[in-house]
Amino acid sequence: MEVELLSHGEPSARDRVDVAVLFADHHLGLVRLALLMVGDLSTAEDVVQDAFARTHAGRRRLRDPDRALAYVRSAVLNGCRSVLRRRSVAFRRPLPYEAPIWSAESAAMLSEDRREVLLALSGLPRRQREAIVLRYYFDLSHQEIAAAMGVGDSSVRSAITRGLAALGRQLGEDT
Amino acid sequence: MIDQRLREALSEAAQTARLHSIQPLRTPSKRPRPRVFLLVAVPTAIAIGVLVLVRLTPPPMEAATSGPPPRLSAFLCLKNDAFPRCKGRREATIDERRRIEQVLRSLPQVASFKFEDQGEAYRNFRAKIVASADPQEREFLASVRPEEVPASFRVKVKSAAGLAAVARAVEGLPGVANVVSGP
């Protein structure tokens, strides 16, 4: 469970990252992030469990405790990307998965307006969608978003700006 | 404002996932790394073990098998025999018979054996097969002449496991037409 980190001469318990505790603390948030990305809860849970398993297996490579959370977030985002990529080609072989929360068939009862927003969001390019969810659901700073997505600061800014503009156009608002 | 709608929609959608409704995370089970030396060592050990077992296990006793001892019969070639092994050759000779006896004596799986010559074979044939046949078949079977019934070795084998080995050993000998299991 525990990982030796490069300590740079500071001996303390703070330098150890417990992957299990990290995930346990952020489990719900990570599942919700994945849910907003992939649209259904069971896939979201799978993605987080997968990310947990992978991070756990590679925990020796996790050196920087300050970046551990960003690492974990990007692991989840990566998992979501894989799922979405797989789905985009998966219709050769129909995979049963729950109706996404933004569809009218979803068991989660959301109002028409909420669904409309989420549907428009799901149609955005990947980078814009991720940046917007991290910004408006997690309230992360641009730096944190950049770290989780593995892109530069300025890319995050432009992705959010463009994403918002596209959403505004689709949802009939003037921003 | 779009960002306000966005915030509300995201948080409401996210609320549908609740802590008590999601499965707890599980620590991945440790997958053992394949150990290359085991790939070699394990089959070798098994092979040695099997070899030792086979060598050390005494041949199973007749008492160990329930029921009557398994039998087989090796029929000898007749004059103008139809069996492929006897094609283009004469009746089995005395020397060939001796050779077959020798082989049977040397086989550890053989419990006992008996030579049945043509006269005896013909009498048995009349008594057992012709007598128990249907009336229609009986006429045909009764037309079989004594020199058309082959002589044979009737072999008792110690256990059913040895049956195939004995059959293989005898089958290829010159003068043997065919081998069947059963009396």
What is the phi/psi pair of residue A141, to 5°? -75, 165
pLDDT exceeds cutoff 90 at A128 = yes
pLDDT exceeds cutoff 90 at A158 = yes
Instruction: Report the C-alpha gap between B110 and B131 in whole angstroms.
Output: 31
Instruction: Report the C-alpha gap between A146 and A43 in whole angstroms.
Output: 25
Q: Which pair of structure tokens corresponds to residue B15? A: 């609320």
Q: Which of residues A100 and B11 earns the better pLDDT score?
A: B11
Instruction: Report the C-alpha gap between A86 and B42 in whole angstroms.
Output: 40
Contact B11 A101 (CB under 8 A): no
Nearest CB partner across the interface for A164, out of B3, B19, B22: B3
Nearest CB partner across the interface for B13, out of A110, A164, A173: A110
Q: Which pair of structure tokens corresponds to residue A26? A: 């952020």
Instruction: Report the C-alpha gap between B2 and A168 in whole angstroms.
Output: 6
pLDDT reported for residue B31: 67
Contacts of B68 (CB under 8 A, 6+ apart): none
- pLDDT tens-digit profile, chain B (183 residues): 788 888 888 888 888 888 777 778 877 776 666 677 777 888 888 888 888 877 776 655 544 445 677 888 888 888 878 788 887 778 888 888 888 898 888 888 888 899 998 888 888 888 887 777 777 777 778 788 888 888 899 998 888 888 888 888 888 888 888 888 876
pLDDT reported for residue B94: 87
Find which of A32, A102, A111, A175 to mutate to test the B interface (most B CBs within 10 Å of its CB): A32
Instruction: Report the C-alpha gap between A7 and B52 in whole angstroms.
Output: 57
Contact A114 B25 (CB under 8 A): no
Q: Which of residues A120 and A95 earns the better pLDDT score?
A: A120
Contacts of B124 (CB under 8 A, 6+ apart): B116
- pLDDT tens digits, one per residue of A64-90: 777 788 888 989 999 999 988 887 776
Mean pLDDT of chain A: 80
Instruction: Report the C-alpha gap between A58 and A29 in whole angstroms.
Output: 22
ipTM above 0.90, yes or no: no
A-B Cβ pairs (cutoff 8 Å, strict) = 88
pLDDT exceeds cutoff 70 at A151 = yes
Contacts of A80 (CB under 8 A, 6+ apart): A33, A34, A37, A38, A47
CA nearest A111: which of B21, B18, B19, B16? B16
Task: Give the residue from chain B lying closest to A43, CA to CA.
Answer: B22
pLDDT reported for residue A164: 93
Instruction: Report the C-alpha gap between A61 and A72 in whole angstroms.
Output: 12
pLDDT reported for residue A91: 58
pLDDT reported for residue B165: 86
Domains and CATH numbers, chain B: 69-118+152-181 (3.30.70)
Give the residue numbers in A contacting B (CB under 8 Å), as ranges: 1, 20, 23-24, 27-28, 31-32, 35-36, 41, 44-45, 48-49, 52-53, 56-57, 101-102, 108, 110-111, 113-114, 117-118, 121, 132-133, 136-137, 164, 167-168, 171, 173, 175
Orientation angle between helical segments A153-170 and A112-122, nearest 10 degrees: 130
Instruction: Report the C-alpha gap between A169 and A175 in whole angstroms.
Output: 9
Contact A45 B22 (CB under 8 A): yes
Whether the CA torsion A153, A154, A155, A158 is positive or negative: it is: positive
pLDDT exceeds cutoff 90 at A61 = no
